[in-house]
Structure 1
Amino acid sequence: MSAPFSIAVTGQSLIRHDLRAIRDPRLNEIAEILKASDAAFTNLETTIHGRYGGWPLKGTYFGASAPEVLAALKELGFNSLALANNHAFDLGPPGILSTLEEVAAQNFLHAGIGVDQRHAAKAQKKMFGSRSVALIAMDAGPGPSFMYAEDASEGRMARPGINRLNVSRVFDVEADTFNALRSIQDRFLSSALERANYAQPEDPPGLNGQDKIDFYGTVFRRSDQSVRRIVVDRHSASAQLSAIAEEAGSDAFVIVYLHHHHWEPSWQQVPSWVRGFAHDCVNAGAGIFVSHGAPVLQAVELYRNTPIFYGLGNFLFHIEKEEREWSPPEVWKSVIATCNFGSGGRLEDISLRPIVIGGTEALSDPARDRLPFPVLADGSMAASILEDLAERSADFGTVLSLENGIGRIVL
């Protein structure tokens, strides 16, 4: 019989600054919550600029951090990191290699990137007390294929990169729109080779039938309605689910992590394809499913007594002050979720501590500088964060109660 076990999960950590010199009781309160659990988990939303160097492969949203940020996360109480996300390849393969080296040096449980696809997809394991914990982390894009890890094949070298959950974006459009797009395609893209030229560095998608076209890298499908669809590749999903099942079969507690930027127009809405994949992961043996990407708090679901966090928003969010796209207040509100499992491995309860990233003063006054760390919310702010989360989670059958400024989900 498994020993009791607890895991604290947070929003993503886009960390650029070393926090270790900060002496602030508000930061200590956060650290105490994280250190009270056997495992404390976040997503490292950056790449490490270490001894392998690297070159920026992005424009505006490029981000890299010095190795010292990992020591800061360690001191804060984290011991488990997902590394699969849209910033992991911002320095190219050298950044992947540096991140792997520096994370291992800090003895984090980590997964989601690797020297090739086999390594990136491999579950990594670590003992926390008497509990074996396995982590599988993946990214679903959108992003160029060259940021994802690839195994060597004849005449082609292996590529360090990210563990990919392969999904495609398809736009269903009505017949008149479809025919107009096809007319434009026929006029300007006269051959398959020309399509390949414009698709570089990607390969153009292989399409069958007359009801789909590749329009400069985007697939449109003739339909009786107009809607965007995200389609999970069956073979890619099967590989991820097999890895989950293998670790669950060895009696490990399996953390499954998904990062993606296929957001809905309302960022707080859970995409249906994510819900379906999360359920598949639980059915395969996941002990907890955590997702990030949209920088806001999304619903919590209990599926087969397993916690699913569809989006935990941000935890550390070190951005430039002029990046105004992150101004909505929802971007700066989240929770620290602590999940407690009993001696039989069954989830007993979840506590949710509401936080404000950057401090409550900066949230109410945009002219104020934000703190480089989150603070616990209290009073009406705590109540509003939890009440909003409770309302969203209720649509998934989750009952969330409020007790003295803390959210509780009890089985």
Structure 2
Amino acid sequence: MKAYVVGGAVRDALLQRPVNDRDWVVVGATPAEMIAAGYTPVGADFPVFLHPQTHEEYALARTERKTAPGYKGFVFHTSPEVTLAEDLARRDLTINAMARDDDGALVDPFNGQRDLQQRVLRHVGEAFAEDPVRILRLARFAARFDDFTVAPETEALMQQMVTAGEVDALVPERVWQEVSRGLMESKPSRMFEVLRRCGALARLMPELDRLWGVPQPPAHHPEVDTGVHVMLVLDMAAQMAAPLTVRFACLCHDLGKGTTPPEEWPRHLAHEARSEDLARELALRLKAPTECSELAQLVAREHTNIHRATEFNARALMRLIERSDAFRRPQRFKEALQACEADARGRTGFQDRPYPSGPRLLKAVDAAMALPTKPIASGAMAKGAQGPAVAEAIRLARLQAVAQALDEHLDEG
């Protein structure tokens, strides 16, 4: 029985990146021998064990055979006779198909170290085509290692997989798992660029795919192309260290522009409402978390109004704040403002511009929320007000507080 560190831990160490966890492959052992040695079995589909002291995962060396379409259609085989090279051969990319033994010697049967040095994402073998999740994983690695290129033969193989319908067999949960992880990488736009080039994006997220080639007014969008703009916005959100909710909202905020009739280009009147509907539909189809879906819909609907907040008086700001449910959900509103800032700065030449709409809206919300509402409600009820009339008294008091914070005169009416 011999154990090897495999996969990401070996890759990241060679790249001099932090190694957060280690996976192990065990050659020459049976499940019974692992249990006898004190390991705890945890694998549901194939034998995986937890080390008795470190609790790191140790998997028995295995091979696999494709038996049905999709990413679940595999039969795994483990035995003491399965070699390390056979186990590594079933992995996705050469940079993930390396191992180290107890003495630190590198085992690299598929030239993964060379591909690391040359900054290439390359599939190990033809078995790559048997699992469509590998397309998503490769795209995610492209977002993480943004100076790597995809090997031409690997890109051609992914295109063949899409044409064969393999991507259509992916279930929403698996797609979201990979997409959400890719959104949180350092340059998430590269994930969608890779998916688009091989044709997978059109199958998985057609609402997003159709944005490329759709023009926008160059005065506001020097990059012109809507798809290019959305990718700039997404990467700006990553630069701002935005959470997943914000990044998904950035991805969805302009989806409605893809449904604007060509004769109306480059203007996109009422695209906000269409974007809201498409964001809701996409989140539902991907089974995205509720908080991602709700923020995406809010940003899609209101981002144009939020951009114009510097033009709004206290009454208009109050209406925007109320539509956004900012008093009940202030954190979500702050995330909406972050997504809108990424949108404003995610344009060619606009990257370093300030975004005054955000501070103006936050100032208004803070002024309104600092107002003690209980005395206002009590005073209104003492005058005979009930229900909606009490709520209106609170609203008018908040409006006055917003106007004072903005140093505006609030006229009657």
Instruction: Give the TM-score normalised by structure 1.
Output: 0.29
| Higher RCO (C-alpha under 8 Å, 6+ residues apart) | 1
Instruction: Give the TM-score normalised by structure 2.
Output: 0.29
